[in-house]
Amino acid sequence: MPLFRTLLLAALLLLVPAMAQAEDGYALWLRYRPLAPAEQAKYRGLGSGIVAPAGSPTVDATVGELQRGLGAMLGRTPGITLVRSNRIADPEGYAIRSDKRGIRIEARSDVGLLYGAFRLLRMVQTLQPLDHVNIADAPKLKLRLLDHWDNLDRHVERGYSGESIWDWQKLPGWKDPRYTDYARANASVGINGAVLNNVNSNADILRPEWLAKVAAVAEMLRPWGIKVYLSARFSAPIELGKLPTADPLDPSVRAWWKAKGDEIYRTIPDFGGFLVKANSEGQPGPQDYKRSHADGANMLADALAPHGGIVMWRAFVYASDAKEDRAKQAYDEFRPLDGAFRPNVILQVKNGPVDFQPREPFHPLFGAMPKTRLMFEGQITKEYLGFATHIAWLGDLWEEALSADTGRGSTVAGTLSGMAGVSNVGSDRNWSGSHFDQANWYAFGRLAWDPQARAADIAGDWARMTFGNDREVAGTVTAMLAASRQAVVDYMTPLGLHHVMGTGHHYGPALWVGDLARPEWNPAYYHRADARGIGFDRTSTGSNALAQYAPEAARRLAESEDYLLWFHHAPWQRPMRSGRTLWDELVFRYDRGVAAVGTMRRQWAGLAGKVDAERFEQVAAFLSIQEEEARWWRDASIAYWQSLNRLPLPAGAAPPAHPLAWYQALSFPYAPGQAK
């Protein structure tokens, strides 16, 4: 028996290192793994201990994070002094400087100290030297929010990573520690706000018992510099107040919202404000009473203004009876209202004019509303880009949109007051359903802090922080990210094709669907393919959506092959710059997309033994799914186009694996994330 116990203990001790190295993704990019002795040596001449100003919850969080991170990575805490300083102009900005005594982080506010601490931790995680550091930084945008499309029953619309993290049934009595880790992750990339509930909102969130739950979440996020916001249902005065109307010009309605605003701020003194989806996809709004979007937004803004709150009014609108091109509707409705909104109203505009597609031209409202504050809305959750199982680096997508020249004297980034990202966070242990999808959450925060940052630099930081500083691992992960978004565009929507996904759930190809009640619900509406050609004519001979852009921007978009089928109905035999015909080019791009996923699989397989087993195996499995589904997209698309154009495949191109009818018969009634 003693021998058995000795052997058992020895076996357990042998398991400890392996167990300690197991990773499930919960730590995100804040892993704080011990550095090698040679790496630790770089930071030995910086003294020891932390000197901080009188405590506040935010200062306490900052000191705790530095002790946690530096203690884990270096085995000790170098000399760090945190100083509140009026020399830093921006209330969220910071400066980091080093001398022989250690490192000094200065900021005007406690949250600036927090951001400076996370910047310092990032530098150590990525092995940057600290002995001569002299950095000053501040956010370019004041509003940097996550929008949670989370319902009160914990179902997440367009969510692919489990249930909502907000466990409303247990709140306010149980404040899940996971909320603190969520806040830490957001603060580490500068995100300073969270809209807790779905834009397709439920008025119940504004009831007193629910506001108490919201206040409990706000209490946990507050030390990390994060305000809470709520999506407000426009018809709440009817549903909660029992009023006969929600007309924004009705005095009783205005009084109801003012009283509700006062109640919210008594419960949550630092409440950020409302996000509103109105008169879109069946949601109630001011147009129900023949009022304008400005009338509705201003009524809510007046209710929140005494408390410093804002209203983020979404520009995503398309009417059920619209005869016009869907891509034009937001511009047509909002451009005439420029200058009509209150100062505390911000118009929240999607990155493109349709709906979070793998590639879209920038939204024409950017640059066209100089008298109105604008927010950029991007979708971190991948509703149209393969859900959680496809690697698709959205840093490139957002950089492409943010850097676009509006033709009106500014890039898209230069028109912004803030950025909002539709969250991909859920209750899955790894937060986002996929280890690689964490990169998009990270990239959104970094780009919201600085919309002119380079996505490639952000990808490199994330790779090192998430998978380590091994040159082969970090280089491979960064290369995979760099190739991934174009791969998805190629095998799903090449050359400007868009919205050809399965209807409702948006899973897989459904180019043939054209019999739904509303035209813009049908994929066939967007590609308009027939025997002669393919694409949506948005030039002067078609819907003329191109005219919504400034002339120089319109010229560039009209000439771009990346947007060819977005703006033109082109013949199948049109010659392309490659020398191929349009048909041959389409097939080439489908094949290129599938091949790129195969390359990513091989690249990842080459990291076996260099990445912990748990994360390695999930990524490998998901890449296998992605390659299979990329072939499905390629084959189904080619089969459908051939049914229309009757053209042969280019030499060397493989025929689809199945006849078109096989793909058309596939059905996915339980695909995740659909609206409820």
* Residues labelled as active-site residues: 281, 355, 383
CA dist., res. 572 & res. 557, Å (int)? 20
Which residues, 6+ apart, have CB-to-CB distance to 16 below 8 Å? none
Please check whether residue 612 is in contact with residue 21, taking contact to mean a CB–CB distance below 8 angstroms.
yes
CA dist., res. 584 & res. 535, Å (int)? 15
CA dist., res. 509 & res. 516, Å (int)? 16
Q: How far is CA 284 from CA 68, 276, 346, in A?
A: 48, 10, 19
Please check whether residue 592 is in contact with residue 630, taking contact to mean a CB–CB distance below 8 angstroms.
no
CA dist., res. 477 & res. 189, Å (int)? 20
**Cis previous bond, 251, omega within 30:** no
**C-alpha 437 chain-centroid distance:** 10
With H, G, I as helix, E, B as strand and everything else as coil, classify residue 535.
coil
Of the candidates 532, 488, 527, which has an alpha carbon nearest to the alpha carbon of residue 510?
A: 527
Please check whether residue 149 is in contact with residue 675, taking contact to mean a CB–CB distance below 8 angstroms.
no
CA dist., res. 622 & res. 90, Å (int)? 43
Of the candidates 128, 145, 122, 129, which has an alpha carbon nearest to the alpha carbon of residue 30?
A: 122
Outline where 100-141 has alpha helix (H).
Answer: 110-125
Q: How far is CA 37 from CA 338, 468, 573, 609, in A?
A: 59, 15, 63, 21
With H, G, I as helix, E, B as strand and everything else as coil, classify residue 618.
helix
CA dist., res. 214 & res. 175, Å (int)? 11
Beta bridge partners of 534: 570
Report phi then psi at 587, rounded to 5: -60, -45
Please check whether residue 230 is in contact with residue 274, taking contact to mean a CB–CB distance below 8 angstroms.
yes
Q: Which residues of 522-553 are buried (b: 16+ CB within 10 A; e: fewer)?
A: bbbbbbebeeebbbbbbbeebbebbebbbeeb
CA dist., res. 525 & res. 523, Å (int)? 5
Half-sphere exposure of 27 (CA within 13 A, CB side): 17
Tokens of residue 245, six digits: 């109307």
Which residues, 6+ apart, have CB-to-CB distance to 130 below 8 Å? 42, 43, 46, 78, 98, 103, 120, 123, 124
DSSP 163-188: S-S--TTTTTT---THHHHHHHHHHH
Q: How far is CA 522 from CA 27, 463, 503, 527, 588, in A?
A: 41, 39, 7, 10, 26
Tokens of residue 517, six digits: 């009640």
Please check whether residue 462 is in contact with residue 183, taking contact to mean a CB–CB distance below 8 angstroms.
no
